[in-house]
């Protein structure tokens, strides 16, 4: 546990290749790797020593120089070596894989931190299902490269060196050279197969991401699909994606399976050469039968290094494919640079100074030359036609997009000078479509203040006019809301989000059309509660329903990204512009609804 905590406390440096990634990880976690290497070394020595002892026993038996007691001692020694190999193999696996899993923890932690720091601009080019695939399959492939591949690579390499040394130096170098003649051809086959394995796994991981994304979108929009009767068509699309993902994985497995025939063919050829040439040497008394037996056993032990070579290459290519997909996400620069140095935000006046903004990739500005101010403790109403830039103004306050320098000031400090965490901690935001987590009603209200008491939770629920609705739920405040609040109505979700925002005493409250799903009576009730309970906090209300901003200290009308009118409710009615005509229309609509 201490090892895990220490690894997570370090920042994980972005790298450019899988080998750099693995070498940096091994450098920081060298102890389990060194211990595994030591245990593997003992295993390798014992493994190559066993055939040597067996050959010696065979020669003694042929020469009738081995007593029953000595035979039992030799066999007991072989048995003890086998038991030692078993426990050492268990030991190094526990050490090595425990370390490799830490790499997965670090990568997933860094991926989460990277995704949580990105703004909406980043997610316009990324799909949720594919990002989930990065956190699962891609990182799993890298984990295997850090664990299984390194294990097999070290074990296979050490075994190969020791076996070849025993074959050439300990038995007969001529027979060893002859037996190794097929292996260069096997190496050429490995090179050819490896190229195709990398491409196959890259395609398989990409296909899995596409399948994952389709499943995620399907589950999120299942009610829409049912309402439109699109279940069958969507099922066919899913079947096609699943089939292509399966075909890609099968293709990768086919190429991985090609390693085994290459190894088998090389070893069979080597065995034929060994029996032929070795038999010739034994016939001419240049080699003992025991030595030939040991050599044959050593040749059999080459099976593991050869298979290990193929397995390692396959895992490394799979890891390379996973890292090739994951690295661009981990190395992506934040869509909004957090270069602020001010670590404390003192409530004060908000001021917009000649703010103009264009969304990335767009040619038409969303906001033109916005100049206005909001004194501390006052309420600002933002109204205007759809697409006039109201929500954009709030998103810039939240710094979801990069601000033009020196265009927005809070207490006479440029907004970009504040640290992002400090700025976000000072703002409570209720979007038009609030997000609820798969937890209870109480847990969703107390999301940003987990230590809140039940009394505090109920207090803000009353302020948001949702307390009575909650009491009618099956388990009251303990009722699970389902994924994204699926068990609640749109108005209930909005009011829960308002309650959540009111639980924390922040200097600024943003309501982005947060009352659109409630009736006018409930809206009036909530606004009355807000006026009574805001306790000096500034409030910005964006609404299409003008009744929500009637009591605002200042109202701004936005049209096509520009301020077309501003003033109090009474002043705007006297101007007889868009606001006045919209107010008359909505009042007429409300009177007809009452009839």
**How do residues 492-526 score in pLDDT, each as one tens digit?**
888 898 889 888 888 999 998 888 778 778 888 88
pTM for this model (two decimals): 0.69
Query: Mean pLDDT over residues 202-218, rounded?
Result: 77
What's the pLDDT tens digit per position in 548-559?
A: 888 888 999 999
DSSP string, 8-44: HTSPPPP-SSHHHHHHHHHHHTHHHHHHHHHHHHHHH
Domain ranges of the chain: 15-330, 350-426+506-594, 435-494
pLDDT for 16 equals 64
- In CATH terms, the superfamily for domain 350-426+506-594 is P-loop containing nucleotide triphosphate hydrolases (3.40.50.300)
Q: Can you tell me the mean pLDDT for 89-105?
A: 78
Asked whether 445 and 363 are in contact (CB, 8 A), the reply is no
Of the candidate CATH numbers 1.20.1440.120, 3.90.170.10, 1.20.1560.10, 3.30.360.10, the domain formed by 15-330 belongs to 1.20.1560.10
In this predicted structure, what is the pLDDT of residue 350?
A: 92
Question: Which of 247-251, 372-376, 486-490 reaches the highest mean pLDDT?
Answer: 372-376
Q: What is the DSSP letter of 141?
A: H
Cβ-based neighbours of 56, under 8 Å, separated by 6 or more: 290, 294
In this prediction, residue 63 has a pLDDT band, given cuts at 50, 70 and 90, of low
SS (H, E, C) 340-400: CCECCCCCCCEEEEEEEECCCCCCCCCEEEEEEEECCCCEEEEECCCCCCHHHHHHHHCCC
Which whole-number Å values give the CA distances from 247 to 211, 233, 494, 505, in the listed order?
13, 21, 45, 55
Position 455 scores a pLDDT of 92
pLDDT surpasses 70 at 7? no
Indicate if the pLDDT at residue 356 is higher than 70. Answer: yes
């Amino acid at each position: 546990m201490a090892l895990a905590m220490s690894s997570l406390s370090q920042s994980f440096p972005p790298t450019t290749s899988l080998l750099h990634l693995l070498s940096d990880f091994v450098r920081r976690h060298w102890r389990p790797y060194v211990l595994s290497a030591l245990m593997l070394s003992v295993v390798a020595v014992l493994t190559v020593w066993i055939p040597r002892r067996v050959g010696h026993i065979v020669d003694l038996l042929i020469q009738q120089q081995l007593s029953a007691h000595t035979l039992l001692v030799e066999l007991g020694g072989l048995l003890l070596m086998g038991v030692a190999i078993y426990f050492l193999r268990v030991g190094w696996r526990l050490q090595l894989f425990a370390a490799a899993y830490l790499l997965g923890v670090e990568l997933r932690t860094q991926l989460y931190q990277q995704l949580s720091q990105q703004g909406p601009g980043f997610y316009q080019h990324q799909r949720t299902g594919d990002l989930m695939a990065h956190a699962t399959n891609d990182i799993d492939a890298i984990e295997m490269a850090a664990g299984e591949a390194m294990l097999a690579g070290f074990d296979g390499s050490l075994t190969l060196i020791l076996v070849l040394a025993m074959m050439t130096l300990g038995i007969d170098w001529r027979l060893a050279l002859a037996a190794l003649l097929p292996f260069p051809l096997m190496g050429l086959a490995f090179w050819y197969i490896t190229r195709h394995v990398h491409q196959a796994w890259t395609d398989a991981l990409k296909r899995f991401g596409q399948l994952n994304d389709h499943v995620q979108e399907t589950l999120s929009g299942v009610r829409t699909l049912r309402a439109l009767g699109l279940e069958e068509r969507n099922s066919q699309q899913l079947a096609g994606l699943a089939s292509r993902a399966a075909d890609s994985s099968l293709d990768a497995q086919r190429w991985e399976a090609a390693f085994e025939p290459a190894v088998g063919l090389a070893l069979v050829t080597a065995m034929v050469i060994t029996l032929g040439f070795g038999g010739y040497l034994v016939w001419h008394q240049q080699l003992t039968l025991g030595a030939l037996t040991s050599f044959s056993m050593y040749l059999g032990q080459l099976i593991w290094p050869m298979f290990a070579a193929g397995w390692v290459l396959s895992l490394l290519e799979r890891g390379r494919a996973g890292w090739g997909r994951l690295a661009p996400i981990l190395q992506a620069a934040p869509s909004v640079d957090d270069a602020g140095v001010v670590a404390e935000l003192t409530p004060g006046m908000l001021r917009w100074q000649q703010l103009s903004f264009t969304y990335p990739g767009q040619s038409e500005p969303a906001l033109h030359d916005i100049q206005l101010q909001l004194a501390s403790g006052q309420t600002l109403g933002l109204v205007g036609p759809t697409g006039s830039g109201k929500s954009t103004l709030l998103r810039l306050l939240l710094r979801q997009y990069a601000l033009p320098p020196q265009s927005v000031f809070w207490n006479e400090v440029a907004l970009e000078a504040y640290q992002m965490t400090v700025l976000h901690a000072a703002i409570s935001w209720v979007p038009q479509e609030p997000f609820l987590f798969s937890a209870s009603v109480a847990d969703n209200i107390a999301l940003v203040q987990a230590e809140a008491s039940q009394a505090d939770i109920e207090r803000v629920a009353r302020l948001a006019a949702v307390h009575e609705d909650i009491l009618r739920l099956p388990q009251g405040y303990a009722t699970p809301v389902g994924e994204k609040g699926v068990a609640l109505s749109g108005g209930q979700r909005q009011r829960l989000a308002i309650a959540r925002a009111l639980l924390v005493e922040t200097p600024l409250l943003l309501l982005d059309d947060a009352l659109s799903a409630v009736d006018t009576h409930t809206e009036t009730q909530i606004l009355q509660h807000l006026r009574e309970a805001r306790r000096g906090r500034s409030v910005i209300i964006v609404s299409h329903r003008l009744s929500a901003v009637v009591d605002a200290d200042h109202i701004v009308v936005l049209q096509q990204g520009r301020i077309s009118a501003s003033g109090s409710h009474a002043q705007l009615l006297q101007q007889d512009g868009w606001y006045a005509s919209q107010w008359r229309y909505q009042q007429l609509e409300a009177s007809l609804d009452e009839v």
